[in-house]
Amino acid sequence: MQQIAYDATPLNAVTVDVEARIGWLLAMSRLHHPDPSFQDGRVFIEALGDAGMPTSRSLLSRWESGEIPISYEAMAAYEQVLGIESGQISSITAYVGAILPRIKARLARPKLDPATPEFADRLDALIDLCEDGGALSRDWQDLGWHLAAVPHAFLRSSVWAALCGRLVNEMPRTVKLAYRQYSAAAFNLAQVPRAQPYLVDAVATWVADPRAQVLTTPVGMLDRLPTRAAASLVLDMIEKPPTQSVFKVGIWSATEKLARGQFDDEERARLDMLVLQLWRRDPVRASEDLAELIAGMPEGMRSTLVHAADRAGRRRLGYAVEHGEEVVATRARAIAGQIAEQARTLVPQEPTYAEDRMLTRLVREALFHRDSERRHLSSLLIASSPFGRAVTDCLLVLLKDTGHSNWMRGRTATLARYLSDETHRLRMISLLDDPAEDVVTPVAQALGHMPYSAMSDQVLRSSLGRELTNAARGKMYALGMSGSPGLAAIATSDQVPEWQRVAAAWWQEHGSAIRPSPEPGA
């Protein structure tokens, strides 16, 4: 019976076992494939060979156990044989470095030889495509790989500015696989010293536009940029955030920069002052919003804040700092285990393997982990696995139970945003009138990640409301990302609030969602 890879690192560790997680993803993609013959490793190995990737049973076992890393070419062969979207598996490993920079994992990328004329020709073509706006998401990913192979390549200043400006301009509208491909490109560009100041300038310009409707994705790039300007911009996002979402991303970026030593003495002093100001202004809110940052601060500051919270009877902060979770372990384990067990019954094929503890851990992290980066990675892994749709089915049942706290329901809705697809549309529409704004906002955003639907569009527009709230922002985001034909009327109407006209005009100017690139010849 096949043993299933498991990441046994403590929940409060700063790193995770990436190879075990990728191994789990490979095994689950094969064992829960609609074709039951792939459960037989010999059949699958033969299919990999037919796809141009000769493989032994031993090598397959070591990949799927997480014992050794798998090459990009082998991941691509998995995708081809399983008939799944190109990049669904391979893009995850490339993306890990972008969101968990403290993890030393070998990034999956194709083998490139910068010494060949073919490499130079392809790099020239990619630069032209991306600079001129004709690039697809896979082209951006390819550009990132090529520049990573020649990090000291010389480009004119105007070319760097154009590439970085277009990348920052387009990334906020990417979804699903396209989001991971653009993010991998941004990660690779951020490793090129010459590109770094241009990326920071592009992010600063984007954030400075008061009309901008999507800010979190560009701000999230700053933790990869080790410049003084990037550090200053992160601190600005904490001190004077344009939205609560930007504030949360600023906290995440500051946590990463602090861990990687990217703040100098003056910047660390400013960060300490900002934390103390937020604490004095609202200690209850600060202990919730700043938990991941406080956990990464020097012992003196961390202990002072944890003890202050304990004395005030708010022991949740101390628990989160020590254990890496925001609820007690027994409850987190029970809820995650129940969701994972139910989801497993909804996917193809009966389990023919030993106990799978990884899905439970990923659901647990995605819902309850203290650190936003860990929740993000776990959510993406589930989304790339055969369990994404089934887990969402379970989450939507949980969301119907209004007896849970708004915090719990908000986390549940946020995970559903990552995993949902067209099959969940009707159930998600029914949640747009939920009394909890923390539920409505991610649900509306999830609808924006789906293709346009007249039914969704009508409900979103009729429930938009005149007041600018987080839920209203989420609904306008859904209208913009889905390319609502109603945007033109909203942008020119004198019967709607000014914020709606500004938002609708911005979406018309920038366009709707950027989705995964179609396969060549498709």
**In the predicted structure, residue 522 carries a pLDDT above the cut 70:** no
Q: Are 496 and 462 in contact (CB under 8 A)?
A: no
**In the predicted structure, residue 210 carries a pLDDT above the cut 80:** yes
Residue 481's CB: how many other CB atoms inside 10 A?
A: 28
Residue 349 confidence class, pLDDT cut points 50, 70, 90: confident
Q: What is the mean pLDDT of residues 485-512?
A: 97
List CB contacts of 56: < 8 A, sequence separation 6 or more. Answer: 45
Give the pLDDT confidence of 122-141 residue by residue, as tens digits.
999 999 999 999 999 999 99
**In the predicted structure, residue 106 carries a pLDDT above the cut 90:** no
For tokens 């241009």, the residue is 198
**Tokens (6 digits) for 98:** 């972008």
Q: Rounded to the nearest 5°, which phi and psi values hold at 241? A: -75, 135
Residue 386: the pLDDT is 95
**In the predicted structure, residue 520 carries a pLDDT above the cut 80:** no
Residue 521: the pLDDT is 46
DSSP 445: H
**In the predicted structure, residue 102 carries a pLDDT above the cut 60:** no
CA dihedral (58, 63, 67, 69) in degrees, to 10, reads: 130
Compute the distance between CA of residue 436 and CA of residue 407 in angstroms, rounded to an integer.
Answer: 9
Compute the distance between CA of residue 278 and CA of residue 284 in angstroms, rounded to an integer.
Answer: 10
Compute the distance between CA of residue 175 and CA of residue 81 in angstroms, rounded to an integer.
Answer: 24
What Å distances lie between residue 92 and 7, 191, 485, CA to CA? 16, 18, 34
Q: Rounded to the nearest 5°, which phi and psi values hold at 502? A: -65, -45
Each residue of 486-520: b (16+ CB within 10 Å) or e?
Answer: ebeebbeeeebbeebbbbbbbbbebebbbbbbeee
Q: What is the mean pLDDT of residues 312-320?
A: 92
Give the pLDDT confidence of 247-282 residue by residue, as tens digits.
999 999 999 899 889 999 999 999 999 999 999 999
Residue 351: the pLDDT is 73
Compute the distance between CA of residue 306 and CA of residue 317 in angstroms, rounded to an integer.
Answer: 6
Compute the distance between CA of residue 170 and CA of residue 208 in angstroms, rounded to an integer.
Answer: 16
Between 497 and 15, the higher pLDDT residue: 497
| 196-208 and 228-239 helices, crossing angle to 10° | 20
List CB contacts of 117: < 8 A, sequence separation 6 or more. Answer: none
Give the pLDDT confidence of 380-429 residue by residue, as tens digits.
999 999 999 999 999 999 999 888 999 999 999 999 999 999 999 999 99
Residue 518 confidence class, pLDDT cut points 50, 70, 90: low
Residue 109: the pLDDT is 78
Residue 273's CB: how many other CB atoms inside 10 A?
A: 12
Give the pLDDT confidence of 224-253 residue by residue, as tens digits.
899 999 999 999 999 999 888 899 999 999
Residue 124's CB: how many other CB atoms inside 10 A?
A: 11
Compute the distance between CA of residue 274 and CA of residue 272 in angstroms, rounded to an integer.
Answer: 5
Residue 24: the pLDDT is 97
- pLDDT, the chain, mean: 93
- For the chain, the domains span 18-84, 347-364+379-510
List CB contacts of 402: < 8 A, sequence separation 6 or more. Answer: 409, 435
Give the pLDDT confidence of 31-49 residue by residue, as tens digits.
999 999 999 999 999 999 9
Give the pLDDT confidence of 415-470 residue by residue, as tens digits.
999 999 999 999 999 999 999 999 999 999 999 999 999 999 999 999 999 999 99
Residue 25's CB: how many other CB atoms inside 10 A?
A: 26
Our CA angle for 237, 197, 166, nearest 5°, is 85
Classified as helix, coil or strand, 56 is: coil
Handedness of CA 369, 373, 376, 377 (dihedral sign): negative
DSSP β-bridge partners for residue 325: 369
DSSP 114: T
* CATH label, 347-364+379-510, candidates 1.10.150.650, 3.40.190.10, 1.25.10.10, 3.40.50.1970: 1.25.10.10
Residue 283: the pLDDT is 93
Residue 519 confidence class, pLDDT cut points 50, 70, 90: low
